[in-house]
Structure 1
Amino acid sequence: MVRPSLSVIVPAFNEQELISECLHALFDQDEPVDEIVVVDNNSTDRTLAAVQKAAAGDQSVRVVRASDQGVINARSEGFDSATGQVMARVDADTRVDVTWARAVRDFFETFGDHFDAGSGMCWAYDLPFQGPFRRQQGRIAAETTRALGEGDMSAAEIGRLFGSNMAITRDAWLRVRGARSRRTDVFEDLDLTLTLLAEGCSIGLIPEASASISGRRYLSPPAAYLRYCWRDQRTLRARGLRSAARRAVLRTVFVQMPFYFAMWLPFRAFDPSTGRMRVNRLLRRSPQRVLPSGE
């Protein structure tokens, strides 16, 4: 593939507090993004005002509206509206590294004949204990880069897109858009993954496309977090993958929820503004993080 044009889609529902930093990170790229499509999904706060203030007349930013609630609908509206040969998708709380856009273009320019979509690495900027996690990601990225340089495409193949930091070619989207789900109670990134794989598309790790995200989902009350995790098996079951859905149930029960409870105290006590633990933060009421459907 020749050097592709790049659109970035940012679905947004009531994201007035975080979307400005997301946009500024996209503005600060060492290789500019061709267009940024913010998809307003019926926000009732000052999200649009925050976008207008951050963009301040920047011609690369367009705002479109997705009237059907749910990130799966907002994402699809953004992909349909975008003009880039490669269409990336990030969350409103994502902060991409300064070399992110260049890394995405490099990946598809070099390996676009093999890969139809890909995801980069992410870490949480507002949670503790991220150092070891980031170092491990760095080792994986370096090994993947080395393998790709030696022509080993299989080393970069991954089985799932990560919605906070992903990209898909326009050609691949046009091939699968008719088969995508419109359900709002599933994981949109997993559903898109399964749709792509069913079409014979290849998904790869974009090793240098790094970003950070908010870990605010972990601050949700237990019942809300469980409902969020439960979408994994529901997405698989909706696609007829019953064995995989059963494994997802086991993963939720024996991995995701135990990790959530193990991190209950440190995640809530951590103050990202100072990088320190503060006991008085444990007295805060847990925020009710909005689910992808807007619930």
Structure 2
Amino acid sequence: MKIAVVGIGLIGGSMALDIKTAFENVEVIGVDKNEKNAKKAKDLNLIDAIGELKDLQNADVVIVSVPVDVSIKVLSEVLDHVGENTLVLDTGSTKEKICESVKNHTKRRNYLAAHPIAGTEFSGPEAAIQDLYRGKTMIVCEVEKTAFKLQEIAFEIFQKLGMRIRYMDPHSHDKHIAYVSHLSHISAFMLGKTVLEKEKNEKDIFDLAGSGFASTVRLAKSSPAMWSPIFQQNKENVLETLTEYIQNLNEFKNLIEQDNFKKLYEEMENTNHIKNVLNGIN
């Protein structure tokens, strides 16, 4: 099986690693406009060779794992170059605008809109890790628009990577993911900003910060080059979640100002229910 990865970072690199482990006789070609990234990926054995878009015509599967603003531009070009029986899937954290961008492409049937709910705060080829996807969810959108035999190839890959499949339309995907992913990244970025602006002496931060702070602010280490386009593409849903989040923060602040700690306790106790929800997911 010949795999091509367009954008060889954490997501694409990790998927390449796992596919090479899960399947026999796999050759992985890496396509990346950043020559250093491509060379690093080859040095790390994430890919077997460095290629170009013109090489995609011979690929069985093409994985597009670039920032979502780049994906809108690149995905059509990828479809232009692939063969009639090539599966193309992307891994973007937004789906509505990406799906819209190729809805009229002559090879739309080759494309499967996908979003793996997996990742870390790190980026680049050196961030790729084995088994990133095991036990994680792969959201698939507009599956009915993908050729059935190509669907089968995709689902075999997801199954061998140990992933669960969840079907969702692009609009619902972007709305829900704004709450459970995009908002948490915004919160981490702004918590980090608040602390950095207040604590000018960085030594104090590291001396006093415990595991709670470290885990909460962890996502602030994520790549702005990846996340800024996500917030732009999902602007309406992100603004809706932010409005609700800010309202809850203001209510929390008001309760403290009013010395209403009984109500504050009740609010936190009610929110503790989330651990039951998360235990059900895990």
TM-score normalised per structure 1: 0.35
Structure exhibiting the larger radius of gyration computed from Cα positions: 2
Structure (1/2) with the larger helix percentage: 2
Bigger relative CO (Cα 8 Å, ≥ 6 apart): 1
TM-score normalised per structure 2: 0.36
